[in-house]
A and B are shown apart, each in its own frame.
Chain A
């Protein structure tokens, strides 16, 4: 079993749709969680950190479920510019950082 698993997609959604991504992790001692966005042939960029209480940034909502060991990302009112690959990132103790392989999203007009 991979340490961090994501549905690779692709998710094809129309503009304005709501889309949700899940990510599961295997190490119960994991401490920090993030969602990154990566555009084609570009570097990953931080989208948002994920806090235990859940957090929201505009159209984006991230949640953490420690009991079930998964994090989620919800995108509301999808825009064409949201088309990208979304990476789930889990940090354990020290410098152990595990990246998911990413979920591809295509938003179409």
Chain B
């Protein structure tokens, strides 16, 4: 049972570099999400995709872009990484808006 798969698991970037975090789910879920988790804080929503073909901003979208490539895949792009984007990033999916979400294993990103 793969569930939600994220790549890479770890990444170190220099300030100004760009990268894309990949996420895929095999549960046929409609909705997908990207969160970041920082010490002492709850997970914060960066972007979400309610369904294939739609994306919307969450609580902390600045500095990020997303693409819902198809129903399975939802990628997060950092165009010009900043040290403030050092965090753990989680992708998640859910069948509907109000149903439980299932998470990928996370990407630990450090921007130096």
Of the candidates B45, B48, B100, B102, the one having the most CB atoms from chain A within 10 angstroms of its own CB is B100
Known: A34-B100, A94-B97. Contact between A44 and B90, CB under 8 A?
Answer: yes
**Is A91 part of the binding interface, using a Cβ–Cβ cutoff of 8 Å?**
yes
Instruction: Chain A residues near B90: list those with CB within 8 A.
Output: 43-44
**Is A64 part of the binding interface, using a Cβ–Cβ cutoff of 8 Å?**
no
State how many angstroms separate the Cβ of A89 from the closest Cβ of chain B: 8
Known: A101-B40, A101-B41. Contact between A43 and B56, CB under 8 A?
Answer: no
Task: Determine the distance from Cα of A91 to Cα of B33 in the docked complex, in whole angstroms.
Answer: 14
Q: How large is the interface on A (under 10, 10 to 19, 20 to 34, 35 or more residues)?
A: 20 to 34
State how many angstroms separate the Cβ of B9 from the closest Cβ of chain A: 11
State how many angstroms separate the Cβ of B27 from the closest Cβ of chain A: 13
| Number of chain B residues close to chain A: CB under 8 A | 24
User: B31 near A97 (CB under 8 angstroms)?
Assistant: no
Closest chain B residue, CB of each to CB of A87 = B42
Interface string of A45-88 (1 = CB under 8 A from B): 11001000000000000000000000000000000000000010
B residues neighboring A (CB under 8 Å): 31, 33, 35, 40-45, 48, 50, 56, 58, 90, 97-106
A residues neighboring B (CB under 8 Å): 4, 8, 31-32, 34, 42-46, 49, 87, 91, 94-95, 97-102
Known: A91-B98, A95-B97, A99-B43. 19 other contacts (CB 8 A): A4-B42, A32-B99, A42-B106, A43-B90, A43-B103, A43-B105, A43-B106, A44-B90, A46-B100, A49-B100, A91-B97, A94-B97, A95-B33, A95-B50, A95-B56, A97-B33, A97-B45, A98-B42, A99-B42
